[in-house]
Every structure is written in C-alpha cells, then in structure tokens.
C-alpha cells in the first residue's frame, strides 16, 4: 500500500544507475526532483532525459528493485509501493528502433531476396541460367504466393497493426533479419533452381497446398483486423478478443492466438505446394517460435482476465 504521505504536493525521487552490461552499479549523480503523485513512469523518464540527453525515454528501464521487472511507462507513482521518497534503478537498454521499422525491415528483405533468385540474377546459378525462367508452373506460383505473403505483411504493418510495444533494441534486428533473410534465400535457391523437381503427386498436391495457403492468409488477415478493432488510438486498456461475424474469427473460441495458427497453416500449405525441405525446416522453426509467443500471450490473458474462456488453447485447439 502507498503511504499517506502521497497526499503531499510531490514526491522526491532518486535515480540510481545499474549497469545492464556489467552487472554492477555505475556512479551517477543522484537526481532529486519534486513530482506530483499522479506522475507516470514516462514522466520520470522524460525528466531524467533532460538531465542525461543520451538516454531518451525508450532507451531507459526503470525498476523499484535491481532484480525486479521494468516498470511500464503508464504506471502511476501513487499506485506503486513507494513512500514519499522513491528510489528507482536505471538500466540502459541501448539504441532502440520502433517495432514498425523492425517489421518492415524483416519483410522487405525476404521479398527482394526471393525475387533475386526467381529472376535468376547472375552469380546465383551457372552463367547459362542467368535471367532464364523455370519451365514449371509451380515455381511461378510459389513466387506469387511468397511475394503476396510479404507484401500483405508490409501493408498490414503500415495500415492495420496498432503496435503496443514502442521499441526494440537495435542489436536484435540483426538476429531477426538474419533469420528471415537467410531462410528466404535458402528456400528461394532450391525452389527456383534449374534442377528443381515438381511435387510427387503433381498438380493435385500443388492445388491442395495453394488452397490451404490462401485460406490461411485470409484467416490471418481477418484476425489482424479483429485485433485492431479491439484497440482504440491511445487506449492502454486490454480486452479479451472474441469471435466476430467473420467466420474466420470463430477460431477464437478455441485458441488465444489464431493469427499464429493461420500463419502456421499458410507455411504448411506452402510446404505441401513446393515439397521443399528448406521450406519445411523454416515452417518447423517458425512453429516453435510462434508457440513460445502464443503461450506467453495465453498466460498473459489468464493472468489479466479472471473470466477468460477456459476452453481456449494457445495456438493449436485442444493440443497446445
């Protein structure tokens, strides 16, 4: 509980720096500032930024204890377990990028890289294949599907998603882009290779894979629209997502993160359509990662909402 001293005009807070990289304390001059009890953590970060311009708010992590979780920007001082004097521990998160920038970089790379292999630019295959075209229709179909997927993600990032997380450390973009870009190159190399062989069951297998891919792409888009409509501009309160009139959203009755379910289905369809080992490997790795994200989101829902539907799984109905 907060001390009754909060009824005073302001709080006096001290900032102590804890080095994120070295694990020890870094000596900073203590900042003693009078602030209102209704001030938020973002207000504190802004004040700290004025004293130390190097550390802009997105780069800061403030905690009440050196081993505790970082406080959220919207947390209000009078709701925190502090007295009339609050001591915060500061960590430098390093240079930051907006999540929108990260998503666009992750998506533009695979789109361009795949097309480089599709058009068989020089230095990729033997010189006699430079700028040649595959004789297999499935190769052209795969290029259209792959391009459609990433163009869709780019447009969703620009016009659909309302990203709640502000920024991501700059160093993480190399890891994220490295995975997506290298995976796209690996897939594209084999699918567009002059010696590529068509799927074992011919056009029927291609058609099944294409149908699954397209249905799941529409489903994924439908879920993103439904999630977007849950959030209003500037609103911080979270809501439980429920099915809408769109049949593709009815899967919300069974899973907490159907956007990942549909994403997985899309890559399974692409794997069936191309019958390519690198695509299957990418699908498996993506499934493991999306499962981690889905489980985390599912736990967050259960923690935040007492009336959260108990029938829901995280990503696969009744299984996972």
For residue 47, what pLDDT is reported?
A: 81
Torsion on CA atoms 183, 291, 255, 142, rounded to nearest 10: 10
Q: Where are the beta strands (DSSP E) in the chain?
A: 11-18, 25-26, 33-35, 60-63, 85-92, 96-98, 167-169
Q: What is the pLDDT of residue 26?
A: 42
Question: Is residue 275 predicted with pLDDT exceeding 60?
Answer: yes
Cβ neighbours of 276 (radius 10 Å): 21
The helix (H) or strand (E) run that includes residue 296 is helix 277-304
DSSP states of 256-285: S-HHHHHHHHHHHHHHHHH--HHHHHHHHH
Q: What is the C-alpha to C-alpha distance for residues 72 and 70, in angstroms, rounded to an integer? A: 6
| CA nearest to 104, candidates 32, 159, 49 | 159
Confidence band, pLDDT 50/70/90 cuts, at residue 140: very high
- 50-65 pLDDT, tens digit each: 877 878 787 888 888 7
Residue appearing with tokens 């297999």: 136
Q: Is the pLDDT of residue 108 over 90?
A: yes
* pLDDT band with cut points at 50, 70 and 90 for residue 234: low
The DSSP bridge partners found for residue 169 are: 96
**194/68: higher pLDDT:** 194
Between residues 23 and 303, the one the model is more confident about: 303
Q: What percent of the chain has pLDDT over 70?
A: 86
Pairing label, strands 11-18, 85-92: parallel
Q: How far is 88 from 28, CA to CA, in rounded Å? A: 12
CA–CA–CA angle 167, 173, 174 (5° rounding) = 160
pLDDT at 83 exceeding the cut of 80: no
Of the candidates 195, 197, 194, the one whose C-alpha atom is nearest the C-alpha of residue 138 is 197
Do β-strands 33-35 and 167-169 pair in parallel, antiparallel, or remain unpaired?
A: unpaired
* Cα–Cα distance measured from residue 142 to residue 272, given in angstroms and rounded to the nearest whole number: 11
- Flag whether pLDDT at 102 surpasses 90: no
Report helix, strand or coil for 168.
strand
The dihedral region occupied by 14, where left means phi > 0, alpha psi between -120 and 50, and beta the remainder, is: beta
Q: Which two tokens stand for residue 3?
A: 């001390």
> Mean per-residue pLDDT for 1-25?
42
pLDDT band at 232 (very low <50, low <70, confident <90, very high): low
Residue among 86, 83, 64, 87 at smallest CA distance from 6:
83
**Is residue 75 a contact partner of residue 41, using CB atoms and an 8 Å limit?**
yes
Q: Distance between CA 297 and CA 303 in Å, rounded? A: 10
DSSP H or E run through 118: helix 99-118
């Amino acid at each position: 509980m907060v001390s009754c001293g909060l009824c005073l005009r302001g709080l006096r807070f001290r900032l102590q720096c804890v080095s994120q990289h070295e694990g020890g304390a870094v000596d900073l001059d203590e900042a003693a500032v009078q602030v209102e009890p209704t001030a938020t953590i973002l207000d504190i970060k802004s004040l700290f930024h004025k004293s130390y311009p190097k550390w802009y708010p997105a780069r800061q992590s403030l905690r009440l204890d050196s081993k505790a979780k970082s406080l959220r920007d919207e947390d209000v001082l009078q709701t925190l377990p502090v007295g009339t004097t609050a001591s915060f521990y500061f960590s430098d998160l390093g240079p930051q990028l907006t999540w929108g920038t990260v998503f666009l970089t992750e998506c533009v790379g695979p789109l361009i890289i795949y097309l480089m292999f599709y058009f068989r630019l020089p230095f990729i295959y033997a010189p006699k294949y430079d700028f040649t075209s595959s004789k297999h229709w499935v190769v052209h179909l795969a290029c259209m599907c792959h391009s459609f997927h990433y163009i869709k993600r780019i447009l969703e990032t620009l016009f659909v998603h309302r990203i709640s997380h502000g920024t991501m450390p700059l160093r993480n973009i190399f890891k994220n882009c490295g995975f997506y870009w290298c995976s796209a190159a690996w897939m594209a190399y084999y699918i567009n290779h002059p010696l590529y062989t068509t799927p074992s069951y011919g056009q029927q297998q291609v058609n099944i894979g294409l149908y699954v891919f397209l249905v799941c792409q529409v489903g994924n888009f439908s879920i993103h629209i439904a999630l977007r409509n849950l959030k209003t501009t500037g609103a911080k309160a979270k809501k439980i997502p429920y099915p809408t009139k769109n049949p593709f959203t009815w899967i919300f009755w069974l899973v907490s993160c159907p956007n990942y379910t549909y994403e997985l289905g899309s890559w399974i369809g692409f794997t069936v359509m191309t019958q390519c080992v690198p695509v299957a490997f990418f699908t498996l790795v993506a499934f493991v990662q999306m499962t981690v994200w889905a489980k985390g989101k599912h736990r967050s829902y259960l923690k935040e909402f007492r009336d959260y539907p108990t029938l829901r799984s995280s990503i696969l109905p009744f299984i996972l």
